[in-house]
Each structure stands twice: as structure tokens, then as C-alpha cells.
Amino acid sequence: MLLKDLEVYKLTRELSKKVWEKYECMNWEDKKIIGDQWIRAIDSISANIAEGFGRFHYLDKNKFNYNARGSLFESLDWTEKLFERKKITDKEYVLLMDKLKQCHKKLNSYIKMTKSQLNKN
């Protein structure tokens, strides 16, 4: 299997694209106060999945998958804050939160599947 075929990776990359589109429209002040941290957290999800994918041992893989999950929770927090501060619309908020929740389920399944490799070796 290739990284680009991994469902959780594809979903997180799609999320990064959506968030980047919103980030690009922010003014300088919003980017500096909240946007930079939001985009870094979102991008870190797929980046950690990619780094873990390239590792051999399941424990090493999941170390990065757990980092990805931490970034996912950080992304949820920043998305909530953006909504509370009226920097994203209701529609954007619902769409982003739905995508983040999908990523969370897929990532947990991927972690579980990776752990199961222990029994196969």
C-alpha cells in the first residue's frame, strides 16, 4: 500500500486544503493571532501520519500516529476558537468539525490496525 492510498491520510490532506483556503483569506492580524497555529496543527496531522507510515516497527509508526491524534485535538480546539470569535461561519464550522471527527475515527482505526501488526509478526 502507498501512503496516498491510505484513507486517513487522504482525508487529512483534504482537510488541510480546506483550511488553507480559509487561512489565505484571513487578514494579517488574524493569521498571526490564531491562523498560523491553526494551519500548523491541521498540517501536522497528515505530516505525522506520513512520517509514521515510513517507519518499520508498529511502535514507531504509532508514536507518530499518536502525535497526529494530538494535533487533531489541537485542531479541534483552534476550530472551536475560530468559531467562537466569529472568524468562520456556521457552515464552515460544521463542515470542518465533521471532517475532523471523521479523521479522528479513521485515525483511531488506523492505530488499532497498526497495533494488530504485532500479532502478525
Average pLDDT over residues 8-15: 97
pLDDT for the residue numbered 67: 98
pLDDT for the residue numbered 41: 98
Work out how many domains the chain is built from and give that number.
1
Average pLDDT over residues 14-40: 97
pLDDT for the residue numbered 17: 98
Range of the domain at 70: 3-120
Which residues touch 118 (CB under 8 Å, ≥6 apart)?
58
Can you tell me the distance from the alpha carbon of 75 to that of 24, in angstroms, rounded to the nearest whole number?
A: 17
pLDDT for the residue numbered 29: 97
End-to-end CA distance of the chain: 18
Find out whether 41 and 74 touch, Cβ atoms under 8 Å.
yes
Find out whether 104 and 72 touch, Cβ atoms under 8 Å.
yes
Find out whether 72 and 119 touch, Cβ atoms under 8 Å.
no
CATH of the domain at 16: 1.20.1440.60
Q: pLDDT per residue over 30-55, tens digit each? A: 999 999 999 999 999 999 999 999 99
